[in-house]
Chain A
Amino acid sequence: MRSYSEIETTIKRATKAKGFSWGISEEVGKNIRLLEMFGLPGLKNLNQYFKIYNISNFENIGEISPSNTAKGYYCPILCGLNFYDQSPLILKFNEIEINKIAFPLIFLSFLSRASEIIGKRIFLKMDNKEFLFNFNESIYSNYLSGDILEKSDKINIKFLDNKNNFSEDDWLEMHKLSIKTYVEESEESKSRTAGAGLTDND
């Protein structure tokens, strides 16, 4: 088994060898390590992408808008990096659509890290595959295949509001249960067991 440290270092160097800058290569190394740790086939997808990288003209996305369409296909590295770099600015768009992106799995790793820096969950749907990025702590998905995804013609991205996954009623019921661990105080015990005085107007 290759260690994650080996994966990160090798991917960083391989990305540089493909002509990306050292700074971008560092990001890609980190991201593929992340995908592999989350159980997604990052290295396999990147390897396949690099095989065709120099023979196909992949596009850079530039500034991200609510709807983005490539003439050919977007480069998942530059697209992912720009999404990540612009994430605090593009939060204002509730939904973002990206049409035509190559090897979208590589792009996903940038979204995972973007979720961490903006402090919001991100939901992504492409075809029938769904991904939920949880602050770069985990990726929840219905996609469990280790296959290579060569392209996606349509990706929908949504920034999710920070809200609980339960109702106020659920909360109250739980809270009611939790207070059963508390001890009822008597007037006498109030004065003996509290740290401060009963009145502290000094």
Chain B
Amino acid sequence: MEIKLRDPKFLMKLSKLGSFHQSKLSFLRSFLKEFKDWKYSRDLFQLNDKGFGRAIYSFTKEKKTYSLICFANEIKDDERSDRVIATKWDAAFTLFDGIPTKEDVDRLSNNVPKQEVGRLSYKELTLSRANKSVRLFNHVVENLSKGQQPDKEFLSKVGYLYRTTAVYGSGKFGLADRFRIKNRDEICGPFRLEMMLVYLVRQFTFDQVNHIAKSISPKNAVELDNNISRTLGIGNSTGLGMAPFIVNHPTLLNNWITARETVLKKIREIEKVSKNDLDIFYQCLIKSLKNITSWHTDSEFQKEKIKNLIFDLKKFIKFMKDEFKFENSYQFNNIYMWAEENLNDECIEYIVSMMMEPYDKIVDPLVSKMSSNEEKYFNIPVGRTIEDLRNIIEKNYSEILKIDFSKEENNKNFWFISKNKEEPRIGDRYIDDGSNLEQPLAIARDIKKLYDIVFTKKNSSKIGKFLLDNNHLRHVVRRVFISEKCPYAEIQDNTIGSKLMPIDMLRLKLSFFGAIKFDPRSDKWLRICMFQGAPLPSELSNFDKYWMYN
């Protein structure tokens, strides 16, 4: 039986994309798998009694080394902010390509703590900063220094000692350009170096609390129990910066979604699912309930989503117990079809993620296909015809063509870059200034404009000639031709409408990162946790691949 890939017009709606969850394809999981046989070491640890100073951690294999350089700084409580406008952080980090010399570390000590106003070089791969979760950090240090472990219940409410407020890569602030490293096998998956940075930062946070506790009370202090460390991840505050990314990188988005959809298709096509594989799926699902019931948020929007997810999961478990027939063929297809008919998007996508768990053989080959050579798709095929262009628009954008942009509600927002921090923002076109400097992220509206013009042109006319008079729509002409080759490249929704929830865009990207416990703080930013439950670096050579659900 051949199952079709899910239709982009239905899948690429923002509400659907905003219901995605982590899966075996997620970047932090594929990172751990790739680096499991690399040698981990802590190469330098020069912190003072209060935990301020520098540290270096590395992964090495044969002649290749990646080093995380950490700078822990003293800041005042009133200087601590997760917002992008902050200028000081509790710690700042960079991932160095190779083994840094003392001169490198000294150079970086003058630049990394300054983040956006510092300068990095082609030797550095990623850059980040993080703030302590102060209450939790102090609680852990205090207890360890008294010779006791911290309160697990208290820890689980937050889930991390530090949260990063930005992780930069790919040439930002002078960092190495992607082309310098793109041919390295170990980093063929997207965001692998960013994942490495965050993962090693997590270890730094454990070492730092242990060090401070011991400095306070050298005789009484104990180290944080590994079983407790494992339950802690790294938090992350994510704002609008991530949202334009998925619009600005259509081929990358396509490759992420294509990988996910291909896995789902192949799983649904399995005629005889083994009992063992079904058990893995079901056990992961049952165990994962713990992640949902311990998912704390003050957001009413998210609370409602969690409530519905739990309700639907109970319904699904009942179905599995009472109605599901293992003897029938195409078991996972039957499960999927039932979910489509009976559950909401949040739960359907949750189940899709879980279905991947037994199938390394299907998932693993697709991980390396999730990067994209964007240059390959940049050139507009100027020799093609207007007829081609119109046919692609009608085929790939039919949902978008239905939107009436003459209505205020469909044209309400505009995306812009803030002058203060060079970061994306979203404003109300009818209230805020700056819509004349709108970023090219209103794809649906511009596709509609393009279609209206194309409709009046001669079929045989060439695109090159069309562009002579219509270069104002060049950016969407390019996208239309990209969509021809990349069916999941476009969000099939209005990114400037009054009903837009920007956090749907953030959540889509974060789910591919492998984030859990999405905690929206407004419709424009949210907190998440990464690597919670993950093995420690010293355990990487042999770890439980279902650690997510332990």
What 0/1 pattern do residues 69 to 93 of A give for CB contact below 8 A with B? 0000000000001101111110000
CB of A138 to closest CB in B, whole Å: 15
Whether B382 pairs with A5 at a CB distance below 8 angstroms is: no
Known: A3-B176, A5-B177. A23 touches B171 (CB 8 A): no
- Is B241 in contact with chain A by the CB < 8 A criterion? no
Q: For residues 94 through 144 of chain A, which have their beta carbon under 8 Å from a beta carbon of chain B?
A: 113, 116-117
Known: A5-B171, A21-B471. A88 touches B464 (CB 8 A): yes
A170 to B171, CA, bound (A): 45
Segment from B16-24, B140-148, B472-480 that makes contact with A: B472-480
Whether A3 pairs with B122 at a CB distance below 8 angstroms is: yes
Known: A63-B468, A85-B467. A4 touches B475 (CB 8 A): no
Q: Which of B171, B464, B476 has a CB less than 8 Å from the CB of A3?
A: B171
A81 to B470, CA, bound (A): 12
Across-interface contacts of B533 in A (CB, < 8 A): none
Whether B177 pairs with A4 at a CB distance below 8 angstroms is: yes
Whether A87 pairs with B471 at a CB distance below 8 angstroms is: no
Whether A81 pairs with B471 at a CB distance below 8 angstroms is: yes
Whether A21 pairs with B475 at a CB distance below 8 angstroms is: yes
Question: Number of B residues whose C-beta is below 8 Å from A?
Answer: 34
- Is A171 in contact with chain B by the CB < 8 A criterion? no
A177 to B230, CA, bound (A): 64
- Is A62 in contact with chain B by the CB < 8 A criterion? yes
Whether A117 pairs with B177 at a CB distance below 8 angstroms is: no
Across-interface contacts of B474 in A (CB, < 8 A): 21-24, 26-27
Whether B174 pairs with A86 at a CB distance below 8 angstroms is: no
CB of A125 to closest CB in B, whole Å: 25
Question: Number of A residues whose C-beta is below 8 Å from B?
Answer: 27
- Is B121 in contact with chain A by the CB < 8 A criterion? yes
Across-interface contacts of A85 in B (CB, < 8 A): 380, 382, 463-465, 467-468
- Is A2 in contact with chain B by the CB < 8 A criterion? yes
A63 to B472, CA, bound (A): 18
- Is A150 in contact with chain B by the CB < 8 A criterion? no
A2 to B464, CA, bound (A): 33
CB of B381 to closest CB in A, whole Å: 8
Whether B475 pairs with A88 at a CB distance below 8 angstroms is: no
Across-interface contacts of B477 in A (CB, < 8 A): 23
Whether A5 pairs with B478 at a CB distance below 8 angstroms is: no
Known: A5-B177, A24-B474. A89 touches B378 (CB 8 A): no
Of residues B121, B174, B381, B468, which shows the largest number of chain A Cβ atoms within 10 Å of its Cβ? B468
Q: For residues 458 through 491 of chain B, which have their beta carbon under 8 Å from a beta carbon of chain A?
A: 462-465, 467-468, 471-478
Across-interface contacts of A89 in B (CB, < 8 A): 383, 462, 464-465
- Is A196 in contact with chain B by the CB < 8 A criterion? no
CB of A122 to closest CB in B, whole Å: 15
Q: For residues 348 through 399 of chain B, which have their beta carbon under 8 Å from a beta carbon of chain A?
A: 378-383
- Is B265 in contact with chain A by the CB < 8 A criterion? no
A1 to B170, CA, bound (A): 14
Determine the residue in chain A with the shortest Cβ distance to B379. Answer: A117
A18 to B471, CA, bound (A): 15
Across-interface contacts of A86 in B (CB, < 8 A): 382, 464-465, 468
Across-interface contacts of B463 in A (CB, < 8 A): 85
CB of A198 to closest CB in B, whole Å: 39
Q: Which of B174, B382, B465, B475 has a CB less than 8 Å from the CB of A84?
A: B382
Across-interface contacts of A147 in B (CB, < 8 A): none
Across-interface contacts of B305 in A (CB, < 8 A): none
- Is A153 in contact with chain B by the CB < 8 A criterion? no
Known: A21-B471, A82-B468. A3 touches B175 (CB 8 A): yes
The 3 closest A-B pairs by CB, nearest first: A23-B474, A5-B171, A3-B171
Pairs A–B under 8 Å by Cβ, sample size 20 = A1-B174, A4-B171, A5-B177, A5-B178, A6-B173, A21-B472, A22-B440, A23-B472, A23-B476, A26-B475, A30-B378, A63-B465, A81-B467, A84-B382, A85-B463, A85-B465, A86-B465, A88-B382, A89-B462, A89-B465
Q: Interface on B for A, CB 8 Å cutoff? A: 121-122, 170-179, 378-383, 417, 440, 462-465, 467-468, 471-478
Instruction: Known A-B contacts: A1-B174, A117-B381. Give 19 more (CB < 8 A).
Output: A3-B122, A3-B174, A4-B171, A4-B177, A4-B179, A21-B471, A21-B472, A22-B440, A22-B474, A23-B440, A23-B475, A24-B471, A30-B378, A85-B463, A85-B465, A85-B468, A88-B383, A89-B462, A113-B379
